[in-house]
Structure 1
Amino acid sequence: MSLKKASLIIILILLVDQISKIYIKTHFALNDDVTVFSWFKIAFVENDGMAWGTKLSDFFTFISDKSAKLILTLFRIVAVTGIAFWLVDVTKKKKSRTLIFAISIIFAGALGNILDSVFYGVLFGDSHMQVADFLPEDGGYTGVFYGNVVDMLHFPIWSGVLPEWLPIIGGKYFSFFDPVFNVADVAISTGIGILIVFNKKAFKEESNSKTESLDSELHNNLA
């Protein structure tokens, strides 16, 4: 897969991700939700931390929430820069389409969430108890690098009390699936899943090239 095709995939994912986030941000107040199906809701929440709302300050108590947010945003920028270099490298070396596709969607997802963290705080007003304004006259809800990631996809597939016969968790209320996420998260998770499940296929050409190199070296030594 060429870098041009990979770029088109990235742009498509970014467009879907950002359009969905901007729509939610400008049409929903925080914690508003709409039931689409019994197992699927559009629910507006904001995440100012990592996955599942975890913050660095939860682990390092000496770091303030604001400092933790800045560190996380800067780390994301460094990480996505590294992914970009990796993507360019594998396309130049004509690695497998599976690998290039996986890296492309991981990059797109990571970049999509970075846009929220870096710019949304100055582009949008506050969403608490109201629908946020785009480019509010009195400024955004926070500064550059301190924005929250917009999430909206919720799949409450099943909830209820677990059977008593189950050890430890029996008789307790359980809900699957609670986390609320976005298109960027789906892209990242899918890309990582592809690399894990199709690992041999993704890195096939790299393995083959190493084998060919070893065979060539052996041949030269024997000649």
Structure 2
Amino acid sequence: MNIKKVSFLIIVILLIDQISKVYVKTHFVLGEDVAVFNWFKIYFIENSGMAWGTKLSDILPFMTDRTAKVCLTVFRIFAIFGIGYWLVNTIKKKESKTLVLALVFIFAGALGNILDSVFYGVLFDGSSSQVASFLPAEGYDSLLHGKVVDMLYLPIWKGYLPEWLPGIGGEYFTFFEPVFNIADVAISIGFCILIFFNKKAFPKREED
């Protein structure tokens, strides 16, 4: 897989991710949902922290939420440069196409969420009681303080768990509870490729 094909695939993933986010941001009020199927909804929420809604300030309590947000965003920017370097180096060395494909999905997904974190605070106004507008006179926050837009919700099963389950028996449970976006899907696909096709991604080289 050459640089042109890789670049094209990254751009396609980014476009799908960003178009879906901009559409939801400019057509939904925060917390609004639309049922596509019984088990699939478009449900607009915003994530200001890490995966699963965790905040860096929850882990490092000496940090304020805003300081933690900037640190997390800067860390993500450095991480994306690292992934990008790994991807380009892998292509130049003509290593496994499986590894290249996995890195493409991870890179595109990570970049998609970074764009939200870096720019969305100044590109959009608030969504809590209104449908946000694009390029307003004043955004809902400053640069590096944007929130990641999530909208894919798959409540495949809801119900009470059997009483015999230790610790959680009898509790109301939803599968699948997290709300995510296209960028998250891309990252997950990339990691799944690395896990399930590990031998193809990292083939053992024959020693002389």
TM class by smaller structure = over 0.9
The aligned residue for residue 88 of structure 2 is: 88
Question: 2: distance between equivalents of 1:169 and 1:25?
Answer: 36
Gaps of 5+ in 2: none
The aligned residue for residue 31 of structure 1 is: 31
SS in 2 for 1:31: coil
The aligned residue for residue 15 of structure 1 is: 15
2:6 is aligned with 1:6:
yes
Question: 2: distance between equivalents of 1:52 and 1:59?
Answer: 14
Question: 1: distance between equivalents of 2:65 and 2:198?
Answer: 37
Deviations 1:45-101 (A, max 9, x none): 000000011011001111000000000000000000000000100000001111000
Question: 2: distance between equivalents of 1:25 and 1:173?
Answer: 30
The structure with the largest alpha-carbon Rg is 1
TM-score by length of 1: 0.92
Question: 2: distance between equivalents of 1:83 and 1:4?
Answer: 17
The aligned residue for residue 47 of structure 1 is: 47
Question: 2: distance between equivalents of 1:169 and 1:141?
Answer: 39
Aligned length: 208
Question: 1: distance between equivalents of 2:142 and 2:164?
Answer: 52
TM-score by length of 2: 0.98
2:184 is aligned with 1:185:
yes
SS in 2 for 1:46: strand
The aligned residue for residue 124 of structure 1 is: 124
The aligned residue for residue 167 of structure 2 is: 168
Q: How far is the alpha carbon of 1:41 from its aligned partner?
A: 0.3
Q: How far is the alpha carbon of 1:167 from its aligned partner?
A: 2.5
AA matched with 1:194: I
The aligned residue for residue 219 of structure 1 is: none
The aligned residue for residue 142 of structure 1 is: 141
The aligned residue for residue 108 of structure 1 is: 108
- Once the two structures are aligned, what percentage of the paired residues are identical? 65
The aligned residue for residue 153 of structure 2 is: 154
AA matched with 1:65: D
SS in 1 for 2:158: strand
- Please give the root-mean-square deviation of Cα atoms over the aligned residues, in Å: 0.8
Question: 1: distance between equivalents of 2:38 and 2:122?
Answer: 35
SS in 1 for 2:173: strand
Question: 2: distance between equivalents of 1:115 and 1:168?
Answer: 40
